[in-house]
Amino acid sequence: MAFTPYQLFLAGLMLITGSINTLSTKWADRQTSHFCDGSGANVTFEHPFLQGVGMFLGEFLCLLVFKFIWYSTARYRIERMIYKGDAASSVVRFWPINIKKDTRLVDGEQTFNPFIFWVASICDMLSTCLSYIALNYTSASSFQMLRGSVMVFTAILSVLFLRKNLTWKHWLGIFAVVIGLTIVGVSDVIFSKQPEGNHTNAEKLAGDALILIAMLFTSFQVVYEERFIGKYNIPPLQAVGWEGIFGFSTLGLLLIPFYFIIVPTSNSGPDHRLEDVLSAFCQMRDNWIIILATFGNVLSIAFFNFAGVSVTKELSSTTRMVLDSGRTLIIWIVSLALQWQAFYSLQVLGFIILVIGMGIYNGVWEHLFRLCVSRPPISSERSQLLPSHDDVTVYESNSNRPLVVWSEAERQYIGDKLVSLEPLNNEHIKYLQDLEINGSLDFWTEIIAAAKPIDVRIKQSEFDQYASEFKQRSLPFRVLVDDVQAVIDDEKQKIDAESLKRQFKSRFFGQSKADIVGTYVSYNEILAFLEEKAQADSQHIAVVDIGRTYENRAIKGISIKFNPAATRNIWIDCGIHAREWITPAACIWMVDKLIDEYNKNDATVTSLLNYWNVYIAPSLNPDGYEYSRTTSRLWRKSRARGTTGSCFGVDLNRNYPRKWMTGGASSSPCSDTYAGPSAGSEPETKGVINFLQSKIGTWDMYMSFHSYGQWWFTPYGYDTSLPANYNSQYAKAQIGVNAIRSVNSARTYDIGSVAQLLYIASGSTVDWAYDDLKIPFANTIELPPKSASPGFVLPPSEAPGVCHETYVGMKAFLAAIKQELQSSMSG
């Protein structure tokens, strides 16, 4: 797992302030002072519920800080909104613009209901109360051993409710951390000479059960936070603040009944009340150290929970719990230095295992191992595609970039900037359109309209020049990624690691080709996967030849025909643009899951595959795809040699004959949207046209997957008119999007025609399929992510989640189409 500097800062802040919070609480608990009853006896300060109220007060302070930053940065946030409006407005002309002001701490949505955090605060309180009650019936060592269960509970709840995909490394790391914490607790039981209370076995069992329930509440709290903070994009400072308000008010009111509850084992007051606030204030007045420790407790919890919730939002709730376990080590070291506890050698073993587990979970050891390897092995397939040995260089890590093997060509993005432009008027739009047509910049998103951000990659050597031009034209811009190559290097490291594991499993365990599902793989691996599926059930599944590429690669797909009586067909394709790696992965996922779930008698899939024959082509641009894998990661087009000799490739999604070159395409061979020398000129295009035309009149659905942006498109792209059945297509797409959101509530898609939502784009597959082949449901889906960071370089770890939610959406979409078609036939 690769951390950004900001995420490392948050993790460090969480560990340090969390340790300070625990130590300050422990410091206060060790203090003795007098009660107000006049007995003169010194007793320890044991007021956990009052300290809990103090912690919620610290969290409440986060909301005050949020409000202060919110109002102090209001000007800059307003300026950003103005930038998306009329550039000629008086506010813009007379109010100097400064959009570079960092407002990260308050950026986010403000339309949520604050009471959603009442649930989290209740979970926090229940966990605190149950833990304290449990310690009255069992030992502190038991608590130490059982608190590791919070990581297991969090991981399980993340899988169940957040649809997280935890790898075996994550689970191994979690269990190693749990074992380490258990050993630390066991050492106290074995070696401690101080008896930890006189409890019956029944009491110990009840206490241990309460600890586990308390940890379950903590796990539910952090998973709940991750779900809703991600869903509404809530700033962590604000989230912590609202939890503080609800917790402070609720637990503060509970102090009243707690005063009248008598607990014989309690030492919170002379009358053994569950919480004696009056005695607590007397003890504070008598010992200033308690006041100081309480003050440290309040402040540290504010920083700790802010950092913790930020880690949840930036990474995950499970990662937060695993990192949080590290403060046990810090607390142990400080406690030894202050002589608050005895040293047991077995604890060292426990903490070593804990650190190893944290490293396994976060991928630290794998990264360190790679740093020690001079050169990772290259598969025979890659060795044929890479340049000669003399052209390959091993680049050492710098700027947190992993050690990887690249050819000089593959290193072409060093220092390149990913920039977001916000055109304000038609002059800006025309200027950017000229740049796109001339192939001057690499446009990651299309030019839509004024006030719509556009993501472009600018070469390092040209950035200063373009930045100067943008300023001269008053065209707002900001840098999203400072070094594109660093992002690509990180992706490559992870992909290579997965590839090495597949090679190892294949060599020693006879790995199935199905192990590539949910990963980024070579085109040859895709073909091997299709062949394996066909060989496993040749009666119903077959590999189909679609055509050949410019470089004479075979374009292949798969046909799935479980019902011999089915005469209707549907088509799904991916990978028409080379750099959109998530799309072939999505197609492979669909092939695997459709076959698997049909064989498991899944009702929805069985119904669909008994009604339709399914054709899926994972990559319509194998040449470009392999070129993006081996030479130029951000290559978009095919690899046909242009007429100029110096520029290669055609945008295959501008080469189809329907309204070819009537808008939104370029005649320049060097442009990324070059439509080719003529309509349907490319061998890849001809192969698809011939294949689909051979079954014309049988197609009910055509779907083409692209990335990125999270759009669900209907025809048309060549102009702003709408297809005759637009309302029906829109309704079915909405059903698909709703199904996706049932899996990932934070995922949003915009639905509509290409031209109306984005831009004019002629010569596309979807318009050709709808108009020329008369396919009633012809759509294009732009898969996640939503934004340019990460854009096309979607981390491999996110691929399974995207593939799964897309598959769920497609099932619902197809079921809705099937229902309409059957209704129209019966009607």
239 inside domain: yes
Please report which confidence band the pLDDT of residue 448 belongs to, taking 50, 70 and 90 as the band edges: low
The rounded distance, in Å, linking the Cα atoms of 252 and 259 is 11
User: Number of helices (H) and strands (E), helices first, in the chain?
Assistant: 29, 16
What pLDDT, on a 0 to 100 scale, did the predictor assign at position 520?
A: 92
468 inside domain: no
394 inside domain: no
Predicted confidence (pLDDT) at residue 747 exceeds the cutoff of 60: yes
Q: Is 744 in contact with 785 (CB distance < 8 Å)?
A: no
410 is catalytic: no
Residue 535, C-beta contacts closer than 8 angstroms, at least 6 positions apart: none
Q: What are phi and psi of 414, to 5 degrees?
A: -60, 125
* Better-predicted residue by pLDDT, 382 or 488: 488
State which of 362, 389, 422 marks the end of a domain.
362
Please report which confidence band the pLDDT of residue 569 belongs to, taking 50, 70 and 90 as the band edges: very high
Instruction: Measure Cα distances from 113 to 27, 118, 119, 234, 660 in Å.
Output: 38, 10, 12, 11, 49
* Better-predicted residue by pLDDT, 304 or 128: 304
Please report which confidence band the pLDDT of residue 338 belongs to, taking 50, 70 and 90 as the band edges: confident
What pLDDT, on a 0 to 100 scale, did the predictor assign at position 2?
A: 52
The residue length of the chain stands at: 827
Total domains present in the chain = 2
Q: Which domain holds residue 350?
A: 5-362
Mean pLDDT of all residues in the chain?
A: 81
72-76, 88-92, 347-351, 421-425: which is most confident? 421-425
- Given the residues 275, 410, 782, 805, select the one marked as catalytic: 782
74-83, 268-277, 375-384, 802-811: which is most confident? 802-811
Q: Note the pTM of the prediction, 2 decimals.
A: 0.55
418 inside domain: no
State which of 362, 378, 408 marks the end of a domain.
362
Please report which confidence band the pLDDT of residue 724 belongs to, taking 50, 70 and 90 as the band edges: very high
SS3 169: helix
What pLDDT, on a 0 to 100 scale, did the predictor assign at position 708?
A: 87
Burial readout 515-536 (b: 16 or more C-beta within 10 A, e: otherwise): bbbbbbbbbebbbebbeebbee
501 inside domain: no
597 inside domain: yes
Q: Is 526 in contact with 548 (CB distance < 8 Å)?
A: no
573 inside domain: yes
250 inside domain: yes
Tokens of 293: 């420790």
Predicted confidence (pLDDT) at residue 92 exceeds the cutoff of 80: no
* Better-predicted residue by pLDDT, 206 or 311: 311
State which of 307, 342, 362 marks the end of a domain.
362
Find the CATH number of the domain harbouring 762. Answer: 3.40.630.10
Query: What count of other Cβ atoms lies within 10 Å of the Cβ of residue 65?
Result: 17
H or E segment and range at residue 784 = none
